[in-house]
Amino acid sequence: MARKPFIAGNWKMHNDRRQSRALLQGLLDSVGHLDEVDVGVAPPFTALQTAGEVLYDNRILLCAQNVHYAESGAFTGEIAPSMLREIGVDHVIIGHSERRHIFGETDETINQKVRAVLDAGLGVILCVGEQLDDRKAGRTMAVVSRQVRAGLTGVGPEAAAHITVAYEPVWAIGTGLTATPEQAQEVHADIRTLLAEVLDRAAADAIRIQYGGSVKPGNAAELLAQPDIDGALVGGASLKAESFVDIVRAALPGR
């Protein structure tokens, strides 16, 4: 099944409003017209509204880096799904390894966020991935399977069009290390088999699975050529228009 590639840039805690506006304008000029690839950016919360204004009525998708699962309440410092939707957010990154391992988010909390975001009519980018000790011990799929099953608990196959899974081996995030295309493809294929079990085969075939972990212009094309790698969740290389554009272009069908 042909799935449109989805390249998303996670800016993490980088770029103020002025810097965000400049970067977005560069992306719009270079890849804002593309229909063959879905392109998304996830600015920090303070730049989301500015980004929404710049991207209004354009093809580039606006993503948020986090969300709370409640619609309102006494949750100081948190943001509700409806608040994100109001300013033009299309997708939310949930369960990034930095949220899991630095901020202590649990599988249960991540699942609550997934369901809240889907209920709000937004798309989910559900991040999963193992740490280096897990890979060395042969526990990669045990970890990834637990995260996928927990993250999608209570979610039905009808939500498939709004779900993206991002496989991000923790040992490859920001380290310069990257899973080989063969390693990444093996896990992506296993995730797709797992999705067929958790949801159904049609949903598994429809859901896009991104790879994340030191994706750069120099390795993007080989990674994206794998049959079950449907895009990339890009960190550092998304902070410069030139490098991010090169990754987007590497995803063009027939390249």
Distance, in Å, from the CA atom of 14 to the CA atom of 77, rounded to the nearest integer, reads 19
H/E element, 6: strand 6-10
DSSP state, 79? Answer: -
Residue 101 falls in the annotated catalytic set: no
Catalytic residue among 68, 96, 98, 188: 96
Distance, in Å, from the CA atom of 208 to the CA atom of 88, rounded to the nearest integer, reads 22
Which amino acid is it at 202? A
DSSP state, 102? Answer: T
Residue 91 falls in the annotated catalytic set: no
Q: Is residue 212 packed enough to be buried (19+ CB in 10 Å), middle (13-18) or exposed (0-12)?
A: buried
Q: How many CA atoms lie within 13 A of 36 on its CB side?
A: 9
Distance, in Å, from the CA atom of 61 to the CA atom of 102, rounded to the nearest integer, reads 27
Catalytic residue among 98, 105, 130, 168: 168
Q: Are 32 and 55 in contact (CB under 8 A)?
A: no
Look at the chain and count its residues: 255
Positions marked active-site? 96, 168
